[in-house]
Structure 1
């Protein structure tokens, strides 16, 4: 039990490491200007959303 950590501690450490590794990620997240997304990425997102919607309808 000495090595046991509650999930919230693990989450806090993970997010701290993420922010330390990619400091620009938090800045972009709180930016008021839109982040440019390529047309190819948008199309992939659309397809993924459609697939998920199809899965939900068949349930």
Structure 2
């Protein structure tokens, strides 16, 4: 089965939207604040980790 660009874009969008679900939204300032305080690339590392984990769970 071949997947097109629209399939990957829809999967990425659904993962991004599920991150902003109501149960996660109150924790976002705490997690993001600690990531920014941890170092220069803390927020970037947090974003990369979330993207990687959603991708891994979606693929496997």
Q: Smaller-chain TM-score range?
A: 0.3 to 0.5
TM-score by length of 1: 0.32
Looking at secondary structure, tell me which structure has more helix per residue.
2
Task: Please give the TM-score of this superposition, normalised by the length of structure 2.
Answer: 0.32
Which one has a bigger Cα radius of gyration? 1
Task: Answer 1 or 2: higher relative contact order, Cα 8 Å, separation at least 6.
Answer: 2
